Amino acid sequence: MTSPRAALLVSAGLAALMLSTPVCAAEEYDDAAPIVVVGAADHYRTDDVDATKTGTALRDTPQSVAVIGREQLDDQAVEQLNDALRYVPGVTLGQGEGHRDQVVLRGQSSTADFFLDGLRDDAQYYRPLYNTQRVEVLKGANALLFGRGGGGGIINRVSKVSALHGTHGSMAAGADSWGAWSLAGDLDLALADNAGLRINATYEDFANHRDSYQGSFTGFAPSLTARFGERTLVTLAYEYDRDRRVTDRGVPSLGGVPIQGYDRTFFGSSTINQSRVDAHVVRTRIDHELGDQLTLSVSGQFADYDKYYANVLPAGTSATTVTLSGYDNGVQRRNWIGQANLVWKGQTGPIGHTLLAGIEGGQQDTLSTRRDVLFGAARTLTGTVPLARVLSLPVVDWTPINRASSSDVRSLSAYLQDQIELAPWLQAIVGARYDDFRIDSRNTINGFTASRSDGKWSPRLGLVIKPREQISLYASYAKSFLPQSGDQFTVLDATTATLAPEAFRNLELGVKWDPAAQLSFTAALFQVDRANTRSNDPLSGNPVLTGKSRVRGFEAGMAGQVLPQWQISLGYTWQEGEIRSATTAAPAGRQLDKLPHHQFSAWTRYDLTGKFGLGLGLVHQSGQWATISNAVRLPGFTRLDAALFYDLNDRVAVQLNVENLTDARYYPSAHTDHNISTGEPINARLTLRLKL
């Protein structure tokens, strides 16, 4: 197979079009200034997003897409990706074991379907937003453009870039009622008429309602953008993220619901439960226009992730005692990715075409180790202590390293997509991607090695009918796949090496309507079928490919500017999902976990005057099962948020955000039946913003 590093170098001479089409950097900056001021008359934009890599407007894209722009992120005072996603219906959050982002998109759980400027960012860590221009949630199978995984959708962060003109800057400082605080700076400096340097940096100090919880985050992200002539734009970016925090696995359940009266109790060890992440990501992007209808671009990324986490966690409880277990895990990962695309827009007779041809190569090297916690003088793998407001833990120690592996993942892909305009009111999208995927794994304790190669096709078909310019009706079909070894590919054993990849099929019917120039409405019906899910045969006990599931749903949303002083972001999703084939893990008919039937979110900002504005938000989620056992249910909840915005002058603004205004008790996510996260009680955050 061609080396992915070689593919990276080859692609530098060819092209890669990122998730956004080549645009003037100044236009990017103007659409989302680094500081939001009352009366700015901006709206929560959704029309910047390109879900096809060809510059196609969202209204003409046969796919559901949700967008959280910089304006909304600032208005809601969110600094971490998982907090921002709470306002996206159809997305539920897994607990992520207290040390990583984990999302459930259309019933499909993932720790790896994350992207940064269109390139895979699949390590397990909490992603910051200090250097983010907007967050894009592309729902449904996305393998044609993004490769493996993404059966329920993908999440892409778009970074800030230089405006290439003038000097702009902002600073922000915030603190909340639990003692958490942060500082952030954003400087955009024009180095010449055709070059600019943008630097974003932040420091966050963590605190919340949980006992023993603390930590900090440091981020530094410079980027250099230069224009060469009228047709070439080059960006070089680096990001360093340093995260230190307590690993919190939440509370156990009792009687089929989260245990009551212990929402602040820390079921762990303040000395052992620690998570450490150092991430270095270097990216480059070159956009070059060969002609009016032909674009060549290139992008590449190198990422180095060094992570360690350890935890003591609840494994079960009675009314008087709680059982604990624990382990640690160290992971070192390096990713190389190169991507190249060619986009041509033209005609063949009366038929219009937007043709995308691309290649992508990737290499992922991972080293992983694990130990287990030993409790008390007996050095047992579990410990039982009295249930109390503050737990008294026995002395703990560690086993020797009992799991250790190295893995090497290599992939090479090619894809072709044609958007065909058969008539002004009728468009079709036809495309396919071929992935050559290989994983080599070695158990470094016993020396066992395993390998597997898969070659998979991922098709995409779509039809768009436009009865009017502002209205689109669409239908789409897409497939995706995920090789067997979990979505992190840290180890491949003798069984998984023999199993075919998991398969995802997405069907979707929808409508998109722009009732005003800065306001959009979307609605869609969808179905996601998942097959080849690994489970154990009930007779032999051997893993077999019998797992099947189906998720059906409806979603609707509206976002944008209703009036010059009134902005909204609304969304509703109804979903149901079930197992469709009996396994030892779950019988047919059992409901999927972390899949509430109803989700509703609303965020609105209204500027009463040129200096004073109000914000109001609501998140509602019906009850959901904690796991596939359907033994523990997380109750439904409704959370109300509010905000006040005030401009002291043209350069200084203050805002007050209050989360959970009614002090509702809720349990937003879980990892197991006995690892359940508790929602934060009422919390106020004051932010001061300075525009330089």
Checking if the pLDDT of 640 tops 90, the result is yes
The reported pTM is 0.91
d(C-alpha 246, C-alpha 268), whole Å: 10
- The tokens describing 266, both together, are 């820390």
| 150 vs 206 pLDDT, higher one | 206
CA dist 62 and 478 (Å) reads 11
Sketch out the chain's domains with CATH numbers: 4-691 (2.40.170.20)
In this structure, are residues 523 and 535 in contact, taking their beta carbons and an 8 Å threshold? no
How far is it, in rounded angstroms, from Cα 73 to Cα 640?
17
**pLDDT at 8 > cutoff 80:** no
C-beta neighbour count of 467 within 10 angstroms: 9
Strands 232-246 and 274-291 turn out to be antiparallel
User: In whole angstroms, what is the distance from residue 223 CA to residue 300 CA?
Assistant: 14
In this model, does residue 2 exceed pLDDT 50?
no
Residue 19's pLDDT band, with cuts at 50, 70 and 90, is very low
Distance CA(110)–CA(332), nearest Å, equals 20
pLDDT of residue 150: 87
What pLDDT digit, counting tens, does each position of 88-131 carry?
988 999 999 999 999 999 999 999 999 999 999 999 999 999 99
Nearest to 503, CA basis, from 537, 529, 535, 526: 529
pLDDT exceeds 50 at position 30: no
Residue 85 is given by DSSP the state: H
Rg from Cα positions in the chain = 25
| Amino acid, single-letter form, for residue 608 | L
Q: Residue 78: which of 121, 4, 128 has the closest Cα?
A: 128
CA 312 – CA 116 distance, rounded (Å)? 32
Band of the pLDDT at 45, cuts 50, 70, 90? Answer: low
pLDDT confidence bin for 48, thresholds 50/70/90: low
pLDDT of residue 292: 86
Number of Cβ within a 10 Å radius of residue 172 = 23
Strands 652-659 and 683-691: antiparallel
How many whole angstroms separate alpha carbon 320 and alpha carbon 318?
A: 5
